[in-house]
Structure 1
Amino acid sequence: MGKEIVKIIFVIIFSVFYRVQIIGRENIPKEGAAILCSNHISELDMFFIGYRMKRLVRYMAKEELFKNPILAFIIRKLGAFPVKRGKGDVGAIKTSLKLLSEGHIVGIFPEGTRKKKAQKTNKEIKVKAGAALLAQKSQAPILPVLINGNYRLFSKVKVIFGKPFTLDLDKNKKYTNSELLLESEKIMKKVYSLLEE
Structure 2
Amino acid sequence: MGKGLFRVYFKLFNKVTVEGEENFPKGKGILLCSNHINNLDPPLVGAMCPRDVRFMAKSELFTIPVLGKLIYKVGAFPVKRGMSDKQALRSGMKILKDGGVVGLFPEGTRSKNGELGEGLSGAGFFALRPEVTVVPCAIQGSYKPFGRLKIVYGKPVDLSPLREEQGAAKKATQAIMQEIQELIEKHHK
- Whether the TM-score (by the shorter chain) exceeds 0.5 is yes
In structure 1, the residue matched to 2:55 is 59
The gaps in structure 1 that reach 5 residues or longer are none
In structure 2, the residue matched to 1:170 is 163
Using the TM superposition, name which of 29-38 and 67-76 deviates more: 67-76
Q: How much does 1:11 deviate?
A: 2.0
In structure 2, the residue matched to 1:32 is 28
**Aligned in 2, Cα 1:141/1:184: closer, same or farther, shift over 3 Å?**
same
Matches within 5 A, 1:173-192: 174-175=166-167, 179-192=168-181
Pick aligned residue for 2:100 from 79, 104, 121: 104
In structure 1, the residue matched to 2:3 is 7
1:42 aligns with 2:34: no
Contact in 1 for aligned 2:157/2:179 (Cα 8 Å): no
Write out per-residue CA displacement over residues 11-69 of structure 1, whole angstroms, 9 at most, x where no aligned residue.
23223321111111111222211110111111211111122323111110011111123
**Aligned in 2, Cα 1:118/1:138: closer, same or farther, shift over 3 Å?**
farther
What is the number of residues matched between the two proteins? 185
Q: TM-score, structure 1 length as denominator?
A: 0.85
Identity %: 39
RMSD: 1.9
Matched letter for residue 43 of structure 1? N
SS of corresponding position for 1:19: coil
Matched letter for residue 101 of structure 1? K
Contact in 1 for aligned 2:96/2:131 (Cα 8 Å): no
Distance across 2 between alignment mates of 1:117 and 1:33: 32
Pick aligned residue for 2:151 from 127, 142, 159: 159
Write out per-residue CA displacement over residues 92-124 of structure 1, whole angstroms, 9 at most, x where no aligned residue.
11111111111111111111111145547xxxx
In structure 1, the residue matched to 2:136 is 144
**Aligned in 2, Cα 1:135/1:34: closer, same or farther, shift over 3 Å?**
same
Using the TM superposition, name which of 88-97 and 6-15 deviates more: 6-15
Distance across 1 between alignment mates of 2:8 and 2:169: 40
Matched letter for residue 189 of structure 1? Q
After superposing on structure 2, the runs of 4+ consecutive aligned residues of structure 1 that deviate more than 3 Å are 116-120
Distance across 1 between alignment mates of 2:62 and 2:169: 28
The gaps in structure 2 that reach 5 residues or longer are none
Contact in 2 for aligned 1:59/1:108 (Cα 8 Å): yes
Q: How much does 1:193 deviate?
A: 0.3
Q: TM-score, structure 2 length as denominator?
A: 0.89
